[in-house]
Amino acid sequence: MKLTGNILHIKNKRDDRNAGIVVEVDKIEYVTYKKDGKYFQPFNLEVELDEPLVITGDQLARKPEKHLQEGEYDFEVYDKEEGDYVLNENRFLSVLLVYDEFEQEHVLSSVEYTVTVTNEEFKALKEEQHKLRQSRKGTGKKKK
């Protein structure tokens, strides 16, 4: 995770002037909801990326949440489609900043990038990650 620029300049509306702000995300959390009895339960899968996902400030707008901890900021994520920015309801970015008294600036503490997917997409992602882990570990026992 890496932050370039001052993410606090991003306001409640998306703005092209924030293109210089860059957030690099090295982990994505995929979330789906399955019905368990009469309630929906969340299921999540965290995926470590080989190369960081780059999100620029012109794709972000701050969510007007009043009940967040100090230093925590939530953002709506926009996709660029044919030159226009479209709000993607399934993507969400949360950033935690800590104020460094000595340096007198905010320091990035954590980044959470969450994508809500369908149950079918979640199963496919989970199988893909399982295969990837198996290929990294090796084949295990050799067959004769």
Report helix, strand or coil for 119: helix
Structure confidence at residue 92 as a pLDDT band (50, 70, 90): very high
pTM flag (> 0.85): no
Burial of 113 (0-12, 13-18, 19+ CB in 10 A): buried
Residue-wise pLDDT for 117-126, tens only, equals: 999 999 999 9
* Helix (H), strand (E) at residue 42: strand 39-56
Structure confidence at residue 139 as a pLDDT band (50, 70, 90): low
Residue 142 has pLDDT above 60, yes or no: no
DSSP 110: E
Q: Which residues, other chains included, contact 67 with Cβ-Cβ below 8 Å and sequence gap of 6+?
A: none
Residue-wise pLDDT for 3-13, tens only, equals: 888 888 899 99
DSSP 142: P
Q: Greater confidence, 111 or 139?
A: 111
Q: What is the distance between the alpha carbons of residues 124 and 139, in angstroms, rounded to a whole number? A: 21
